[in-house]
Amino acid sequence: MVLAFHCRVLSMMLLVQAVDAHAVDSCAGGVSLLQNSLHVQSRARGLQRATKPWETYLYYVGTHHKAGSQLTRNTMKWALDFLGANYSCQEHHFQHATLTTVGGHNKCAVSSDCRIHWDNVATQERVQSNRELAGAGGMKFAHALRDPKTMLASSYCYHHRGEEYGNPIAPWPDIMYMGPLEGLHAVFDGMMNIFQNMVKIYTNSEADTYHSRYEDMTESSESFDTHVKALFDFMFEDLITPEEHEAIRKRAKKEDLNRGENGLSAGKNHTNSEECEANALAVLEQSPDIYQPIQELILT
């Protein structure tokens, strides 16, 4: 009887050990499954990171004459180049500047598969056509914006010193010999058409649009950094890594006018003298026939 009891105890102990061993094996299997699952998820995230942002969204950068075209375009160009973009197109048939260093001279009209569009004569109609082209995936639109008064003053000063000779905005070569009063009136009609395009885009904005204000980008280096971060956060979201975000912000600093023109805009002579623009603005404010129509534009 005692022997039978010991046998039963021994059997129970062996059973417990077997159960424990099975539990260990099961746990090991569970850990292994968990590790495999995490590995698969990690690989999936890696594959997501490998997808370029323009494979998710259509990218459209639209600017206007004297609204900071160089500043907006080149800030975006630093980012796109770093991220490996090598295929972009120009909306305007006579554009020369490019949005990507590599593969930027294509024309959008004959590049229907292109996902990165550059437009320095942006209109609401082209914004809408790009929105439709983007389809269900949507687009990301960086739009240059500036106070029309300073745009008009900048246009006069810019063409007065002979830049972009032949641009139909101004009468050539007369503009080079006109004082501020005559010169502002000479470029007003052409610039007013540009203002209206800019305001129309602004007032018809949708959630896919970021307005890159010239004043915010030039007020100070701190303001530049703040607004470039906001621009890149909007345009690229989490489609790129935090390290990539940091890298493109660092590169874009080269376009900060307060740090000196040492980036892609260097040597392009797009920045006027402060004295010329200040004098032109003072004259503009004393010219109600052209000042009042500008004041009536809705751009808050």
In this predicted structure, what is the pLDDT of residue 299? 73
In this predicted structure, what is the pLDDT of residue 16? 38
40: pLDDT strictly greater than 50: no
In this predicted structure, what is the pLDDT of residue 261? 64
In this predicted structure, what is the pLDDT of residue 266? 52
Residue holding tokens 């639209």? 62
Comparing 24 with 247, the larger pLDDT belongs to 247
pLDDT tens digit string along 173-190?
Answer: 999 999 999 999 999 999
13-31 burial: b if 16+ Cβ within 10 Å, else e: eeeeeeeeeeeeeeeeeee
Give the 3-state secondary structure of 182-224.
HHHHHHHHHHHHHHHHHHHHHHCCCCCEEEEEHHHHHCCHHHH
Fold of 53-147+191-268: Rossmann fold (3.40.50)
In this predicted structure, what is the pLDDT of residue 211? 98
* Closest by Cα among 276, 238, 232 to 255: 232
CA 57 to chain centre: 12
> Contact 162/176 with Cβ under 8 angstroms?
yes
Lookup: tokens for 67: 């609204």
Average the pLDDT over each of 32-36, 55-59, 61-65 and give the range with the smallest value: 32-36
* Closest by Cα among 176, 181, 177, 149 to 163: 176
228: pLDDT strictly greater than 80: yes
34: pLDDT strictly greater than 90: no
Measured on CA atoms in the order 68, 70, 76, 79, is the torsion positive or negative? negative
Mean pLDDT of 191-203: 97
In this predicted structure, what is the pLDDT of residue 260? 79
At 234, is the pLDDT very low, low, confident or very high (cuts 50, 70, 90)? very high
Lookup: tokens for 288: 């109600």
In this predicted structure, what is the pLDDT of residue 100? 98
pLDDT tens digit string along 259-282?
Answer: 976 666 655 555 788 999 999 999
At 35, is the pLDDT very low, low, confident or very high (cuts 50, 70, 90)? very low
Give the 3-state secondary structure of the chain.
CHHHHHHHHHHHHHHHHHHHHHHHHHHHHHHHHHHHHHHHHHHHHHHHHHCCHHHCCEEEEECCCCCCHHHHHHHHHHHHHHCCCCCCEECCCCCCCCCCCCCCCEEHHHCCCCCEEEECCCCHHHHHHHHHHHHHHCEEEEEEECCHHHHHHHHHHHHHCCCCCCCCCCCCCHHHHCCHHHHHHHHHHHHHHHHHHHHHHHHCCCCCEEEEEHHHHHCCHHHHHHHHHHHHHHHHCCCCCHHHHHHHHHHHHHHCHHHCCCCCCCCCCCCCCHHHHHHHHHHHHCCHHHHHHHHCCCCC
pLDDT tens digit string along 112-132?
Answer: 999 999 999 999 999 999 999
pLDDT tens digit string along 132-185?
Answer: 999 999 999 999 999 999 999 999 999 999 999 999 999 999 999 999 999 999
Q: Which amino acid is at 123?
A: T
6: pLDDT strictly greater than 70: no
In this predicted structure, what is the pLDDT of residue 12? 44
